[in-house]
Amino acid sequence: RQSNRGHWIPTCRCHGNSTPPIMDDNETNSTRGERNSLSCVQIRIPQELFLTLGIISLVENILVILAIIRNRNLHSPMYYFICCLAVSDMLVSVSNVTETVFMLLNDHGLLTLHPGMLRHLDNVIDVMICSSVVSSLSFLCTIAADRYITIFYALRYHSIMTTQRAVTIIAVVWLASFTSSILFIVYHTDNAVIVCLITFFCITLVFNAALYLHMFVLAHVHSRRITAFHKGRRQSTSMKGAITLTILLGVFTLCWGPFFLHLILILACPTNPFCNCFFRNFNLFLILIICNSLIDPLIYAYRSQELRKTLRELVLCSWCFGI
């Protein structure tokens, strides 16, 4: 399966086994000879692994969303944002499962994909992937801001972060994510799109790092003040939420980092033979992205006893109905 965007959008996995189109147009004979002389280690990943991880991730994130909807104790702005983060992860899972199923059916001769149908499927999957990364980064920033307000403005939190404001923020983030994703796909041939994605990724990392650093440095001072007002338990809960989101941000950076490094190398050294070796392991970067969607629900469950309890009830109910 070929795509004209496969060298920077994480769909169409055949480009994980080939060089970016930019390289084919610009490389010289000497560069080609040097590239061929290199021994590139290429990790081949079976389609079945993509499908298995995608289905597991999809089920996990659906359970998280259902748990937050079902348990009224989880009806708070932070968990609304976590629910949206789960939806973002679910977009990755849905796009991966959809693409893999079509590829497996096509490989086994059970489905013939016409060029027009393939192009439309490409566009839908690319929009879903772009929306996922933009919304994930946005909601990580939103949750960081929510934890910041909880810790430093604890007595005014409910007046600052109301349910209405939380819903408005969620609507704005999703609208901006889908709009920007569509624009990215329409103008995918322009390097400015790659620059925008990389810049947005770096800005969100710096924003979150600065917020978390401020939180953890001053948390001890504020904990004493909050304790004076008999709110020690709330401070403990707020810091626990901040630690949870720090873990989420770290996992996101580790899993999505190689893909963004891929984008940077496309701009910096599209014809370099060493960069070409990095490009050849594109499928591995996709597996890491899917793993991020798979790991996030485990972090939610591990860090939240209330969510863990609700998830256990959902799983047991599903098992009982299955019997």
What are 253-308's pLDDT values in tens digits? 898 888 889 889 888 888 888 888 888 888 888 888 888 888 888 888 777 888 88
pLDDT in tens, 202-233: 999 889 888 888 877 776 665 666 555 554 44
Q: What is the pLDDT of residue 229?
A: 58
pLDDT in tens, 98-109: 888 888 887 777
Task: Indicate whether 157 pLDDT > 70.
Answer: yes
Look at the alpha carbons of 117, 130, 255, 2 in this order and tell me if their dihedral is positive or negative: positive
Sequence-ordered list of residues with C-beta below 8 angstroms from that of 103, at least 6 positions apart, any chain: 1, 13, 47
**Whole-angstrom distance, CA of residue 311 vs CA of residue 314:** 5
Mean pLDDT of 138-153: 87
Task: Indicate whether 23 pLDDT > 50.
Answer: no
Phi/psi for 109 (5° steps) reads: 75, 15
Amino acid identity for residue 229 in this structure: F
What CATH architecture is 47-228+236-321? Up-down Bundle (1.20)
Task: Indicate whether 186 pLDDT > 50.
Answer: yes
Mean pLDDT of 18-45: 51
Sequence-ordered list of residues with C-beta below 8 angstroms from that of 319, at least 6 positions apart, any chain: none
Residues 57 and 294: beta-carbon distance below 8 Å: yes
Q: What is the pLDDT of residue 225?
A: 65
Token couple for 36: 């061929």
Mean pLDDT of 60-80: 90
Task: Indicate whether 2 pLDDT > 70.
Answer: no
pLDDT in tens, 110-131: 777 777 777 888 888 888 888 9
Placement of tokens 């949206």 in the chain: 84
DSSP 76: S
Mean pLDDT of 157-169: 92
Task: Indicate whether 239 pLDDT > 70.
Answer: no
Q: What is the pLDDT of residue 4?
A: 39
Token couple for 197: 């994605």
**Whole-angstrom distance, CA of residue 48 vs CA of residue 298:** 22
Mean pLDDT of 188-204: 88
What is the distance, to the nearest Å, from the Cα of residue 297 to the centroid of all Cα atoms in its chain?
12
Q: What is the pLDDT of residue 62?
A: 92
Query: What percent of the chain clears pLDDT 70, i.e. is strictly above it?
Result: 78
Q: What is the pLDDT of residue 30?
A: 43
Q: What is the pLDDT of residue 236?
A: 53
Q: What is the pLDDT of residue 45?
A: 81
**Whole-angstrom distance, CA of residue 198 vs CA of residue 269:** 15
Q: What is the pLDDT of residue 171?
A: 96
Domain extents in the chain? 47-228+236-321
Mean pLDDT of 38-50: 77
**Whole-angstrom distance, CA of residue 34 vs CA of residue 28:** 10
Report the chain's mean pLDDT, rounded to a whole number: 78
Q: What is the pLDDT of residue 109?
A: 75
* C-beta atoms surrounding 288 within 10 Å: 16
Q: What is the pLDDT of residue 247?
A: 83
Mean pLDDT of 68-89: 91
Sequence-ordered list of residues with C-beta below 8 angstroms from that of 279, at least 6 positions apart, any chain: 7, 19, 20, 23, 262, 265, 266
Placement of tokens 């021994």 in the chain: 39
